[in-house]
Amino acid sequence: MKYRYLGNSGLKISELTYGNWLTHASQIDDTAAHATVHAALDGGITSFDTADVYANQAAEKVLGDALKGLRREGLEIFTKVYWPVAKRMPNDTGLSRKHIMESINGSLKRLQTDYVDLYQAHRYDVETPLEETMQAFADIVRQGKALYIGVSEWNAEQIRAGHKLSKELGFQLISSQPQYSALWRVIEAEVVPACEELGVSQIVWSPMAQGVLTGKYLPGQPAPEGSRGSDERMGGMMGKYLSEEVLTRVQLLKPLAGDLGLTMAQFALAWVLQNKNVASAIVGATKPEQIASNIAAVGVEIPAEVMVKVSEILEPVAVFDPRETKAPEARLV
C-alpha cells in the first residue's frame, strides 16, 4: 500500500479507501462485512469511508463493530452528513446546525469512536446558509469530534466559497469526494483546477463506474445475475453505463490492461490514481479476495501513450460536463 497527503494538510491516507456504501447492512451479513474490513487492513488500507445514510445508519455501526479493538491512531475514519436519516422528520436532513450537531454525535456513537478523521458534507445544501453550515463544522473541529472537514459532490464555485469560510473560521477544508472514473470525468474541467489551487484533494467514488469498467457487463448480453446491473434498485444509476456503445468500447480496454498485467478492475483503479489531485479511490467489496485483487492497482504507472489510448476509446461515451455536479433542489428528496 502507498499513502498520499490529503489536501494541503499533514494527514496521510491510503491510496485505496475501503467504503461500505452498498455492502454493509445491505448486500452482505455482518460476518462477511468484518472479513472484508480485515482483508483491507491486512492489505495496508488504513482509510475507511462511510455515511450516516448508508443503510439508514446501520452501515456505520457495522463498520464500528468491525474496527472495534484496533488501535484508533492507526486508522483514518471518514463519515458524512446531509441525506435524510432515522425517521426522516423535517430536521433529519440537510446541513443545518441542528442536523449537523445531532448527526456527528450519532455517527460517533455508532462508529464507537471519540472522533472522526474526516467529516464530510454529503451534498451542498441549497436551503441552509453556507455560513451556518461552516460555523457548525468549525465548532465540531474545535470540540475535537472531527479533525478535518470535506465535501462531496460540490461544484467548483461551492468548494471555493466553503474553503474561503473555513479559512476565516480557522479550520481546514481539505477534501472533495466526487464520482470519478474513465467514464465519468466531470470534475476535470473545473473542480480539479480549483482544488489544486486551494490545496484540496479528491477522494473518488465509483472509480469502476459501478462495475462497468471491470468488463463483466458484455454487449448484447444480460447483466450477470446478482450484479448491480441486474438490481432494479441500481437501475437509475447504472442505466447511463449499460448502453451497447459503452459496453462495446469498454471491451476495447481489455488488451490495454492485459499488456500491463492488470485485470480490468485494477486498470480502472490505476487510471484514476494517475490524477495527482486524487488522494484515494474508494473501493467496496463483498468478498475478501476482491480487496486483495484491488490492492494490486496501487503503485501502477500507466504509460502516457496508454492513457491517450484510453481517452481515444472512451471519450465518445464518457461524460465531461461539469454541470453534472448538481446540488439537490431540496433537502427532503
Domains of the chain, residue spans: 3-324
C-alpha closest to that of 27 among 78, 62, 68: 62
Strands (E), the chain: 3-5, 12-14, 16-19, 47-49, 76-81, 116-121, 146-151, 173-176, 201-204, 278-283
- Please list the pLDDT of the chain residue by residue as tens digits (333 residues): 999 999 999 999 999 999 999 899 889 999 999 999 999 999 999 999 999 999 999 999 999 999 999 999 999 999 999 999 999 999 999 999 999 999 999 999 999 999 999 999 999 999 999 999 999 999 999 999 999 999 999 999 999 999 999 999 999 999 999 999 999 999 999 999 999 999 999 999 999 999 999 999 999 877 776 666 656 655 556 768 899 999 999 999 999 999 999 999 999 999 999 999 999 999 999 999 999 999 999 999 999 999 999 999 999 999 999 999 999 988 765
Any residues with CB less than 8 A from the CB of 142 and at least 6 apart, and which?
A: 171
**What was the pLDDT predicted at 222?**
77
201 DSSP β-pair partners: 175
Catalytic status, residue 115: no
Q: How far apart are CA 117 and CA 42, in angstroms?
A: 21
Place of cell 456504501: 21
H/E run at residue 178: none
CATH H-level superfamily of 3-324: NADP-dependent oxidoreductase domain (3.20.20.100)
What's this model's pTM, rounded to 2 decimal places? 0.95
**What was the pLDDT predicted at 25?**
85
Place of cell 503503485: 299
**What was the pLDDT predicted at 38?**
97
Given the residues 54, 119, 180, 241, the one annotated as active site: 54
